[in-house]
Structure 1
């Protein structure tokens, strides 16, 4: 999963919209360093009206989420955003008015680029307005993502002004947390909360932040002020920041931890299905629409998942035979889960294996795309405070993170697919290209659709079969395990939220169909329970891209070249899946008309 997932309210959109507002995500921070894009002037009245609409909404959104313009770029201000019900009602009303204004613009008078802008803008507005209207802010975290975990920067700030704004935000944490607590109280009162069964151990992610010593991540951050900020300014910033953390931020974290443990966890709901929330079936359908970006029913998705699970199971049987294993598929999976040869002995070994795979991939990128980004990512371990409940890996612009906690649950045979997906040519690579993309409106730079982003990530795992990345049948089985994992999600997510599946049913289904470690199986199922619909985007986006590739190969024949095909997808940036289909088919038609050459 991408760190850019960078995706704005359900729980995730709420948490990550605030993350953009706080400026702590790598893509947002790095984008501030790039020169502002220069857009071509609008061609007519309709284009002018559209551009005015999305520009005004973007500037309003920055102000609303406490960002200020510095050197021509929006950056985090010295305050946290408001999350009161009144603030969200105001946002919902504004987004609804903006949608009405968008409806009045004649789309048939827009040029191609502005039609794409309009489609992206609409999908983003619809999701934001719907989630504000559903009041998802009353459950402002899930088993995977926490509003309190995006305050501390992943990399140190480079200017005195940025450090001072950060200190200002830290001083505002008490007010911000109090508003979140009040929202959670309102959610509990109406039966809208995170399912209790998914929250075991999540409260421990707060514990490091209530410590008064240097083990507190916020205090440790002030020891990382770079020497490029001269003395005595550096010492003053460190002293002031540590004082604010000790006097204001730590007490706020302690109050939140006490509330979570004494009030929230005992009272949160014991049901698991989204359909059991107030108006839950309609809510779940809205989440399907948001994450899949097309109109599909739960039944349609469930049936697709069952068919794909059956297909991948047959491929797994074939790989098991190539491995020379004499036994059933279940026995082969147990062998993979338990044999020490498949597991790293130290965190350094796991990170070293990931790094080696990443360099092997580097040698193949020139055959995959025509445009290589300048920006480079590093490989880092997942932070200790979140590692016990975190997924195996995440990729973003600055870094590709791998979880080194509980090494017996991190099989090395899964690592090639994980590096492809999270690092390159997956999310880190994708984020770098987005940073260096052709000129487009600011809101396009910051909009993320899971179907596009996660679909590309899963597609890159398949691309590894064309790149020679999978060196053994075990690694190929790891890839199929990852593909099965995403296909099984279609069955599990709809089973949980529409068809009455229990958590145990979902765990058993995922465990019996993949070679994922038990720890990952449980972590993943809890994510699906507490984050309805998001897991559906991966496989449907993947199948969309794979089907488009098959269509391009069929239509272009020997003239098919995967490099411009991939460039077409990546240069678009994040778009709804129907837009992706339309643009790739335009590419196919143009290439066909010129015999495969660039038009």
Structure 2
């Protein structure tokens, strides 16, 4: 056993839910310890692991060993820095999201017999009241922000139906279904009380991370070599460059009546959308298959054996907080290569106009870019392919600056290959890209105190083709998840820069850099360009 193996063993023991979702055996009957004592003990232990792994090198360490160790160190540096901004004291999300994922994902992935899945779910349901009690004890009114509490409340309100109807509804056997529904009732009652608690919770803190910690995470966790101010300026420059390209394409859309006004051209394209949410899902499914065929026919990547991508409605518990498409990967420590592209359905209480706006922001011109991003050769291909890497650390630890960067990079690569073959789909592809540039600008400005929520919503609704409702949902997400939103275009630009320096064919580059996981980009470069 190496020191790195020891660390992974500790990490799984302290994070059993994460271990189970990764596909590790023996961790699927508990949610873990969410008490204050457990969180603080993990924070202190992370400091000690960082010190040990920084100081000790295994005899005969190879280049791959060094990359693994640097990957884990980047994770630990991020954890230690983030302890200054303790999410578990500020936000219900670590508790609520953990519960929902633990109970829903195993039934979605179906890696074990149904009876075993039910046994695990029953054991976890029994722990739900204790997890919610820990959340109530841990949330600090002086640190928590109203916006984060409101997001948690929106999710918590979906819990009773989710636990007592949705999850049992995934079970085919009537006896097992009844057992699961009965076990869910005490957990649902605990959520009912939790809704009352959050409804009356007075929060006096801020969601703004601040420039110092934001920049620290960019440099030490993401290994980017620059901070928030430079990232902000990169976003502004990228926006200007993409804006110029879109003004060139816009006159070719329709009969050209929009001239260089790409925003007006995109507004017209958004009127061509599926009629219903289910129609949207079906059309995304067809587009996903088209993207797969295109990528395979051109030999752009090597496909993993047995891969499959389902296209399904987004889970109910995600709908109040996520307004865009998402992806559920196969557990990388398992043999499964079956993933799920979730189409962004709306909450049940949305008005017909709100549903229409969601459909408009998933118009037919945009669907090719989104299917490429989420499925082929974006998240689904990448995360299935990297699961074949024999190095365990690379299956466990990854950064969105690579994974989301990869998905946006391949959108651009397929544009080069001619996939977006009409002015409408080309403009929509560029719109998806300028949207990510706007995220770089807005996320940094929000968390460094340079932009209000209202200004950010206006920016996203006018500098990208988002409806006001979708822009509101997007900005709400940025406030709750600092540093994630800029990862898309930042990573795409860095991966393209690495490719420009690479000597070899395109397929080999894609297989090699993506097959090494979701590394911080400085490490990713070392997997394809030695020295």
> What TM-score, normalized to structure 2?
0.87
Cα distance in structure 2, aligned partners of 1:206 and 1:134: 23
Cα distance in structure 1, aligned partners of 2:318 and 2:344: 10
**Where does 1:10-29 land on structure 2 (aligned, <5 Å)?**
none
**1:286, distance to aligned residue in structure 2 (A):** 3.0
**1:432, distance to aligned residue in structure 2 (A):** 1.1
Residue in structure 1 matched with residue 472 of structure 2 by the alignment: 522
In structure 2, relative to structure 1, the CA distance for the partners of 1:580 and 1:198 (3 Å cut) is same
**1:372, distance to aligned residue in structure 2 (A):** 3.8
Question: Of 500, 507, 528, which aligns to 1:584?
Answer: 528
**1:243, distance to aligned residue in structure 2 (A):** 2.1
Cα distance in structure 1, aligned partners of 2:234 and 2:79: 28
Cα distance in structure 2, aligned partners of 1:144 and 1:251: 16
**Where does 1:303-322 land on structure 2 (aligned, <5 Å)?**
303-322=233-252
Question: Of 415, 419, 424, which aligns to 2:371?
Answer: 419
Residue in structure 2 matched with residue 408 of structure 1 by the alignment: 357
In structure 2, relative to structure 1, the CA distance for the partners of 1:551 and 1:63 (3 Å cut) is closer
SS in 1 for 2:409: helix
Is 1:387 the equivalent of 2:358?
Answer: no
**1:148, distance to aligned residue in structure 2 (A):** 4.5
Is 1:238 the equivalent of 2:177?
Answer: yes
Residue in structure 2 matched with residue 23 of structure 1 by the alignment: none
Cα distance in structure 1, aligned partners of 2:215 and 2:59: 29
Cα distance in structure 2, aligned partners of 1:355 and 1:238: 29
Residue in structure 1 matched with residue 352 of structure 2 by the alignment: none
**1:471, distance to aligned residue in structure 2 (A):** 3.2
In structure 2, relative to structure 1, the CA distance for the partners of 1:192 and 1:317 (3 Å cut) is same
Cα distance in structure 2, aligned partners of 1:481 and 1:207: 34
Cα distance in structure 2, aligned partners of 1:506 and 1:373: 43
Cα distance in structure 1, aligned partners of 2:317 and 2:518: 31
Is 1:342 the equivalent of 2:272?
Answer: yes
Residue in structure 2 matched with residue 35 of structure 1 by the alignment: none
Residue in structure 1 matched with residue 53 of structure 2 by the alignment: 102
Is 1:301 the equivalent of 2:239?
Answer: no
Cα distance in structure 1, aligned partners of 2:411 and 2:93: 27
SS in 1 for 2:308: coil
In structure 2, relative to structure 1, the CA distance for the partners of 1:142 and 1:496 (3 Å cut) is farther
Is 1:327 the equivalent of 2:258?
Answer: yes
Higher Cα Rg: structure 1 or 2?
Answer: 1
Contact 2:103/2:124 (<8 A) preserved: no
**Where does 1:357-506 land on structure 2 (aligned, <5 Å)?**
357-366=287-296, 367-397=299-329, 398-405=339-346, 406-409=355-358, 410-435=362-387, 437-441=388-392, 443-506=393-456
In structure 2, relative to structure 1, the CA distance for the partners of 1:569 and 1:62 (3 Å cut) is same
In structure 2, relative to structure 1, the CA distance for the partners of 1:267 and 1:322 (3 Å cut) is same
In structure 2, relative to structure 1, the CA distance for the partners of 1:327 and 1:200 (3 Å cut) is farther
Cα distance in structure 2, aligned partners of 1:429 and 1:370: 9
Residue in structure 2 matched with residue 5 of structure 1 by the alignment: none
**1:239, distance to aligned residue in structure 2 (A):** 3.7
SS in 1 for 2:487: helix
Gaps of 5+ in 2: 330-338, 347-354
Cα distance in structure 2, aligned partners of 1:497 and 1:73: 35
In angstroms, what is the RMSD of aligned CA positions? 2.7
Residue in structure 1 matched with residue 194 of structure 2 by the alignment: 256
Is 1:165 the equivalent of 2:120?
Answer: yes
Question: Of 562, 567, 582, which aligns to 2:511?
Answer: 567
Cα distance in structure 2, aligned partners of 1:460 and 1:146: 29
Cα distance in structure 2, aligned partners of 1:144 and 1:82: 10
Cα distance in structure 2, aligned partners of 1:503 and 1:76: 40
In structure 2, relative to structure 1, the CA distance for the partners of 1:506 and 1:133 (3 Å cut) is closer
Asked which structure has the greater RCO (Cα within 8 Å, sep 6+), the reply is 1
Contact 1:380/1:399 (<8 A) preserved: yes
In structure 2, relative to structure 1, the CA distance for the partners of 1:567 and 1:105 (3 Å cut) is same
Contact 2:31/2:102 (<8 A) preserved: no
Q: How many residues align?
A: 501
**1:352, distance to aligned residue in structure 2 (A):** 2.3
Cα distance in structure 2, aligned partners of 1:58 and 1:167: 27
CA deviation digits over 1:270-290, x for unaligned, max 9?
x55322xxxxx4332233336
**1:142, distance to aligned residue in structure 2 (A):** 5.6
Gaps of 5+ in 1: 1-50, 228-233, 276-280, 590-599
Residue in structure 2 matched with residue 267 of structure 1 by the alignment: 203
**1:318, distance to aligned residue in structure 2 (A):** 0.5
Cα distance in structure 1, aligned partners of 2:5 and 2:523: 21
> What TM-score, normalized to structure 1?
0.77
Cα distance in structure 2, aligned partners of 1:341 and 1:143: 38
Question: Of 55, 68, 74, which aligns to 1:117?
Answer: 68
SS in 2 for 1:80: coil
**1:73, distance to aligned residue in structure 2 (A):** 4.3
Contact 1:144/1:527 (<8 A) preserved: no
Cα distance in structure 2, aligned partners of 1:444 and 1:360: 30
**1:200, distance to aligned residue in structure 2 (A):** 5.3
Cα distance in structure 2, aligned partners of 1:147 and 1:262: 23
Contact 1:177/1:252 (<8 A) preserved: yes
CA deviation digits over 1:143-178, x for unaligned, max 9?
998444324223525333332122011011101110
In structure 2, relative to structure 1, the CA distance for the partners of 1:198 and 1:418 (3 Å cut) is farther
**1:197, distance to aligned residue in structure 2 (A):** 4.4
